[in-house]
Chains A and B, each alone.
Chain A
Amino acid sequence: MTLVAQPAAPPAPEAPARPATGRLVDLFEYGLDAPICLTWELTYACNLSCVHCLSSSGRRDPRELTTEEAKAVVDELERMQVFYVNIGGGEPTVRSDFWEIVDYATSHHVGVKFSTNGVKITPERARELARNDYLDIQISLDGATAEVNDHVRGPGSYDTAIRAMQNLRDAGMKNFKLSVVCTRYNIPQLDEFKSLADRYGAQLRLTRLRPSGRGADSWDDLHPLPEQQRELFDWLVAHDGEVLTGDSFFHLSAYGQQLAGLNLCGAGRVVCLIDPVGDVYACPFAIHEEFLAGNVRMPGGFSSVWRESELFQRLRRPQSGGACASCGFFDSCKGGCMAAKFFTGLPLEGPDPECVRGLGEAALEERRARDVAVPRAAVDHSHRTTRAPRSGPGPVRLTLSRREDIVRPPVNACEEDPLAGFRPE
């Protein structure tokens, strides 16, 4: 939903550097006074070892924020009017003070949506959660069957997630999210995911696999094949209004139709990450020193990092499209995802590795031919026993036929449901 005085809005008196009127997406490129989509990872500890974990989680970091420091972050978010945080990890619920921090946030006007694999969502806990209006829950599941899910998330993880959804449904929790990272193996299961979500009164959320964290090692095996990207796009279009996507798939708009949503890389502009040790990165998918803006423990705290960091200032300047600038789809595709380019060793100004025109594939070939090194994150908390990325074929894939009769755009959202239904002009 967008609420604007219609044709030309009167000029804003401040900030002469940015355009005073125009599409919201163009205004957002200059950044906001506080993030809209703030992800806060509370711990690197996790009971699972998913092969595509964006933060290479597993073991707790001894430098993680204390309860008091976490509450101070909440106080600051309240002052900055960050309405809403996405709490994740690691598995945030394994922190012994997790519920205390959540309660503190929701009683200080900072709404919480937390992502979990479901391990701590007991029937009693589910009943408590259902009572808190400021709370939303997202259960991660990457296969509509145990076979497909456990291949990526590990043995038993399917049952854990299903049990959590059952408990939430039985507790009367409405509209929690079932969150799926789209892979080569689960794109044939989109309809099954939808019925699974419906069965538990949940809302389906589909997001993009990025080569971040351990995802760098599993990306070649897991990322959707080109024809599956098309299948996914068509499915999103066909399920207009029924799924959230975290504004993940704007690179697919180059199939010829702009998807609803912000359709821009929000890193450092409307999006950022606070990691478990308080480091602030431009995006949850960009845990690398290149995208490190500062730390919440620094004088001035999170708000000075957000407002003053040199990195964020730079990200808020208009970017040239590089090799994409002459592409007819640049206006909606914007060259895709910065993190996906970075962790596949592609130039940041140029096509996404999954460019639907195939230019990313070509750039990857060229990079391999020239033997250019791919940057790796130094931050790695993987369990020492973390399984090596699986090789060989995964679960058997089905093939869906494509529907040709669909023209409506899918509902899309910047990382979050608050933007569901939002359409820029």
Chain B
Amino acid sequence: MLERFLTLPAPIMGTIAAILVVFAVVLPAAMFMVLWERIFLGKLTQRPGPNRVGPRGLLQTAADALKLLSKEDFDPKNADHALFYWAPVFFMLPSFLVYAVVPFGKFGGSYGPALISDLRVGLFFIVAVFSIHTVAIMMAGWGSNNKYSLLGGIRGVAQAISYELPLVFSFLGVILLTGSLSTVRIVEAQSGGVWNWYIVAQPVAFLVYLVCSIAEVNRVPFDIPEAESELVSGYNTEYSGMRFAMFFLAEYASLFATSAIAVTVFLGGWTAPFPEPAVITQSPLGYFVWSAFWFAFKVFGLITLAIWIRGTLPRLRADQLMNFAWKFLVPVVLANVFATGLLGFVVKSGNGLGSWWPVALGTWLALGGWLVLGWATAPKAERRKVAY
């Protein structure tokens, strides 16, 4: 058996190694993120955060997981049992499937254990897989046979459908510029330094993606599907023990996943923010560590930003949420796609990497002009600094 495994062709070995790396990294990382969120939220609100279990509270999440494991797996009498049982699984699934196409490093000249599969429709796969979330939320909401869960589920679906649209469109500009749906090609198109990252050419798309991804993973300020104070945790009201733990962990795993996607599409993936010194590319393992570090660093930064947002913004009302998605984000992101197409292909300046500078110039000018016009037309009182 082992012999047959060891004689497998190298690409398959690489894929298996990559799957192992993903599972070995994502689960502990999600647990660490729970801890980091609690610590950083604590800092934002002048509290110490967890500091009892283990040195400096480092084992808090492990203790919580153990507690949830040992709890009763409660199943409401009138629940739709099949849906109720499978919802957490379906909720967890997409956050892991997404990593199938996310390159999180480079191993010498190839990807080796740093990429599971280079799909030619990578971004399409990501978008399709991430919609499974919505199904899981509805399964949990409906299957619990509880009015609060159902309300939470319905809210979750309405929100996910509304925000999926601008989220997908925010990728379109990048796809236009790269000319490919493959995540590997998108990352490679961004290599060479921070000025090549698509956040420079597509700032509007990045902002829209940031908003939509937070809405997709149901975090504050878009957490009305699981609003504790009004819906008693929404779709996961009836869940306890390990099933609740799966919901809980999957929320962080999907935050991790959306951040990884944002890094891949807009922040240059595993590439360093400056041209790589030639020394680094010599040894495959060294290069792997180097590139994986940059990937992890950017993902960590984005997650911290999400936590910071959670510590700042209040929850939106359901109608405000819908208005914002349909009346603001969708037109803005469509305009972005239009402008990218126009500036990138009509006002084209040669081929190659630097060819999209008109797009960058145009979008930044539009963004700046929009805000300046907004400042100019805002009522006088709004312009002054608000006294705290």
Q: Do the two shown chains form a genuine complex with each other?
A: no
**Residues of chain B having any CB pair with chain A under 8 Å:** none
